[in-house]
Structure 1
Amino acid sequence: MTATDICYLPATKALALFKGRKLSPVDLVQALIARAERVNPAINCLADRYFDEALEQARRSEARYMARDAETLPLDGIPLAVKDAQRVAGKRTTQGSLIFKDWVDDHSDPMIERLQQAGAIILARTTTPEFCLSGITASRIWGVTRNPWNTEWGPGGSSGGSGAALAAGIATLATGTDIGGSIRIPAGACGVVGYKPPHGRNPDGPPANFDRFNHCGPLTRSVADAALMQNVTSGPHPLDHDSLQDKVTLGLEPGSIKGMKIAYSLDFGYVPLEDDVRRNTLAALEVFRSLGAVVEEVDLGWTGEVERNGLHWYNLMHFGRQTIWHLKESEALMTDYAIAFAKVAQEATTADDAHKPWEQAHRMYQSLGPVLAAHDLLICPTNNAPSVRAEHDPWDPDFTVAGKKADPEFGWVMTHQFNMLHNCPVLSVPSGHAGTKVPTGIQIVGRTWDDETVFRAALAYEQALGGWYTKPENRPKIDSGP
Structure 2
Amino acid sequence: MTNPLVYASATDVLAQFASGQLSPVEYLTALIDRAEKVEPTINAFCETLYDEALAAATTAQAVYADREATPRPLEGLPIATKEKHAIAGRTLTEGSLALKGNIALENAPVIDRLLAAGGIIHARTATPEFSIALYTQSDMWGVTRNPWNPDFTPGGSSGGAGASLAAGSTPLATASDIGGSTRGPASFTGTVGFKAPYGRIPGAGPMSMDYYRGDGVMARTVSDAILFANQLIGPDPRDHATVPAITLPREYDDVAGMRIALCYRLGDYVVDPQVIVNTRAVAHALESAGAIVEEIELPWRSEEIVLASAGHFGTMMAQMVYSTVDGRVDELTDYGRAFVEMLRPIARTDEVNYFRSTQIETGMQRALAEAMTGYDALICPTSASTGLPAGDTLADGVDIDGTHVPLSLLALMTLPFNICNRCPVLAVPSGHADNNVPTGVQIVGHTYDDPTVFRIGTAIEKLRPWAFSLDHSPRF
CA distance in structure 1 between the aligned counterparts of 2:56 and 2:325, rounded to whole angstroms: 40
Task: Classify the secondary structure of the residue corresponding to 1:474.
Answer: coil
What is residue 36 of structure 1 aligned with on the other side?
35
CA distance in structure 2 between the aligned counterparts of 1:239 and 1:37, rounded to whole angstroms: 37
2:255 to 248, 252, 257: 257
CA distance in structure 2 between the aligned counterparts of 1:318 and 1:140, rounded to whole angstroms: 23
Deviation at 1:254, TM superposition (A): 4.2
Deviation at 1:346, TM superposition (A): 3.5
What is residue 179 of structure 1 aligned with on the other side?
178
Would the aligned equivalents of 1:314 and 1:320 in 2 still touch at CA under 8 Å? no
Task: Classify the secondary structure of the residue corresponding to 1:429.
Answer: strand
| 1:190 pairs with 2:189 | yes
Would the aligned equivalents of 1:45 and 1:165 in 2 still touch at CA under 8 Å? yes
Would the aligned equivalents of 1:306 and 1:417 in 2 still touch at CA under 8 Å? no
2:300 to 299, 302, 321: 302
Between the two proteins, what is the percent identity of the paired residues?
39
CA distance in structure 2 between the aligned counterparts of 1:30 and 1:7, rounded to whole angstroms: 10
Q: What is the root-mean-square deviation of aligned Cα atoms in Å?
A: 1.5
Relative to the length of structure 2, the TM-score reads: 0.97
Deviation at 1:167, TM superposition (A): 0.3
What is residue 317 of structure 2 aligned with on the other side?
319
Q: CA 1:323–1:238 in structure 2 vs 1: closer, same or farther (change >3 Å)?
A: closer
Deviation at 1:139, TM superposition (A): 0.1
Would the aligned equivalents of 2:211 and 2:421 in 1 still touch at CA under 8 Å? yes
Residue by residue over 1:416-439, the C-alpha shift from the partner in whole angstroms, topping out at 9 and shown as x without a partner, is 100000100000000000000000
What is residue 381 of structure 1 aligned with on the other side?
381
Deviation at 1:351, TM superposition (A): 7.4
Residue by residue over 1:344-389, the C-alpha shift from the partner in whole angstroms, topping out at 9 and shown as x without a partner, is 1243221761112221121112221122221000000000002210
What is residue 52 of structure 2 aligned with on the other side?
53
Task: Classify the secondary structure of the residue corresponding to 1:113.
Answer: helix
CA distance in structure 1 between the aligned counterparts of 2:404 and 2:324, rounded to whole angstroms: 31
| 1:209 pairs with 2:204 | no
What is residue 359 of structure 2 aligned with on the other side?
359
CA distance in structure 2 between the aligned counterparts of 1:120 and 1:344, rounded to whole angstroms: 41
Residue pairs, 1:38-117, within 5 angstroms? 38-117=37-116
Deviation at 1:330, TM superposition (A): 2.2
What is residue 424 of structure 1 aligned with on the other side?
423
Task: Classify the secondary structure of the residue corresponding to 1:371.
Answer: helix
CA distance in structure 1 between the aligned counterparts of 2:7 and 2:208, rounded to whole angstroms: 32
What is residue 230 of structure 1 aligned with on the other side?
229
* Structure 2 stretches lacking a partner, 5+ long: none
What is residue 330 of structure 1 aligned with on the other side?
328
* Structure 1 stretches lacking a partner, 5+ long: none
Would the aligned equivalents of 2:81 and 2:121 in 1 still touch at CA under 8 Å? yes
Deviation at 1:317, TM superposition (A): 2.2
What is residue 288 of structure 1 aligned with on the other side?
286
Deviation at 1:92, TM superposition (A): 1.2
CA distance in structure 2 between the aligned counterparts of 1:377 and 1:217, rounded to whole angstroms: 20
Deviation at 1:10, TM superposition (A): 1.1
Would the aligned equivalents of 2:383 and 2:414 in 1 still touch at CA under 8 Å? yes
The aligned amino acid for 2:366 is: Q
Deviates most, 47-56 or 85-94:
85-94
1:271 to 262, 269, 272: 269
Would the aligned equivalents of 1:337 and 1:394 in 2 still touch at CA under 8 Å? no
Q: State the aligned residue count.
A: 474
What is residue 22 of structure 2 aligned with on the other side?
23
Would the aligned equivalents of 1:193 and 1:219 in 2 still touch at CA under 8 Å? yes
What is residue 165 of structure 2 aligned with on the other side?
166
| 1:391 pairs with 2:371 | no
